[in-house]
C-alpha cells in the first residue's frame, strides 16, 4: 500500500497525480493511469474544498484492480451525485467518479472515500468463471 499526506491547498490535486505516476507509471497502461489520475484528483479536490484537517492518499494495485483512497479528518461525506447546470463550472466531480470508476464509496459516517478501477485482462480461477 502506497501512502502520502497531501497539502490542504489547491495544488493537492496536482500532487496526487504526480504520486500516482510515481507509484504506477511502469505498471499501468497510459489510459488506466490517466483515468486513475482523474478520479483521484476529483476526490482530493473534494477533500480540499469540503473536508477538514490532514488529507491522506492511499493507493494499492494488484492484478485485478487499482484501489485509491482519500481520507481527511472531516465528520462525514454525503454520497450524492448531483446534476449541475451547464453554465455552472463546479459540482460535477462525483458524477465523473460515478461514470468512470468500476466502484466507489464512502466508509459510513467518515470522509474516507474510495474508488476502484478494475484491471483489463482475463481472470484465472473459479471466481472468474461465469455461472451456468
Cα separation, 39 vs 79, whole angstroms: 15
User: Tens of pLDDT along 75-94?
Assistant: 765 555 556 555 544 555 78
User: Tens of pLDDT along 15-66?
Assistant: 999 999 999 999 999 999 999 999 999 999 999 988 899 999 999 999 999 9
Cα separation, 117 vs 114, whole angstroms: 10
What's the mean pLDDT when you consider all of the chain?
Answer: 85
Fold of 2-114: Heat Shock Protein 90 (3.30.565)
In terms of Cβ atoms closer than 10 Å to its own Cβ (0-12, 13-18, 19+), residue 96 is middle
Q: Where are the domains of the chain?
A: 2-114
Cα separation, 19 vs 36, whole angstroms: 11
> In terms of Cα–Cα distance, which of 78, 72, 108, 107 is closest to 93?
78
- How confident is the model at residue 110, as a pLDDT? 78
The model carries a pTM of 0.81
Question: Model confidence at 124, in pLDDT bands (50, 70, 90)?
Answer: low
Amino acid at each position: 500500500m502506497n501512502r502520502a499526506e497531501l497539502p490542504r491547498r489547491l495544488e493537492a490535486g496536482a500532487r496526487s497525480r504526480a504520486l500516482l505516476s510515481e507509484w504506477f507509471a511502469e505498471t499501468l497502461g497510459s489510459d488506466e493511469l490517466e483515468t486513475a489520475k482523474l478520479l483521484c484528483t476529483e476526490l482530493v479536490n473534494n477533500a480540499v474544498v469540503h473536508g477538514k484537517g490532514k488529507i491522506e492518499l492511499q493507493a494499492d494495485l494488484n492484478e485485478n484492480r487499482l484501489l485509491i483512497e482519500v481520507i481527511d479528518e472531516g465528520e462525514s461525506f454525503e454520497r450524492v451525485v448531483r446534476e449541475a447546470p451547464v453554465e455552472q463550472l463546479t459540482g460535477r466531480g462525483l458524477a465523473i467518479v460515478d461514470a468512470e470508476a468500476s466502484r466507489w464509496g464512502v466508509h459510513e459516517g467518515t470522509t474516507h472515500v474510495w474508488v476502484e478501477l478494475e484491471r483489463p485482462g482475463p481472470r484465472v480461477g473459479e471466481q472468474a468463471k461465469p455461472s451456468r
